[in-house]
Amino acid sequence: MEARKSRLSLFTSLDAGCGVKRVRLSPGKAADISKITVAKRLAEKTKYAEMEKIADEMSTTQMRANADADYYSRIQAAEGNRKRLSPRFLKEQLLTRMANTTKRYYGRDLADVVGSLSSAL
């Protein structure tokens, strides 16, 4: 009878304390289960590493897109400032500011003062 039990790969025994059935495995079956468990853990680690790689690529792509957008907006702002700050525009702004300020001129003619300033530019 002992020989018969040793040849059986699987038998159950009832745990008296809580009524839970435990499965006892032969050494060969335990090794097979161990191999399966190790393979499962290895597959999980591989999938986790793959997910991390994809997340890193997404992060890198997002940072590149943000940097490109910032570069483009700075280029556009520089181009707009270059067009806006032309010599003609600056001269017009100077004359507008001079016209808007309240000053008293003592002299022969105000037009001569403004004309001399505009010709100096």
Domain extent listing, the chain = 26-84, 86-121
Higher-scoring residue by pLDDT: 8, 42 = 42
Interatomic CA distance for residues 53 and 88, integer angstroms: 55
Span 81-93, pLDDT tens digits:
888 888 888 888 8
User: Cβ contacts of residue 114 below 8 Å, gap of 6+?
Assistant: 95, 98
For position 94, what pLDDT does the model report? 84
Interatomic CA distance for residues 112 and 109, integer angstroms: 6
For position 41, what pLDDT does the model report? 95
For position 9, what pLDDT does the model report? 46
Span 62-78, pLDDT tens digits:
999 999 999 999 999 99
Q: pTM surpassing 0.85? A: no
Q: Is the pLDDT of residue 13 over 90?
A: no
The most distant pair of C-alpha atoms in the chain lies apart, rounded to whole Å, by: 135
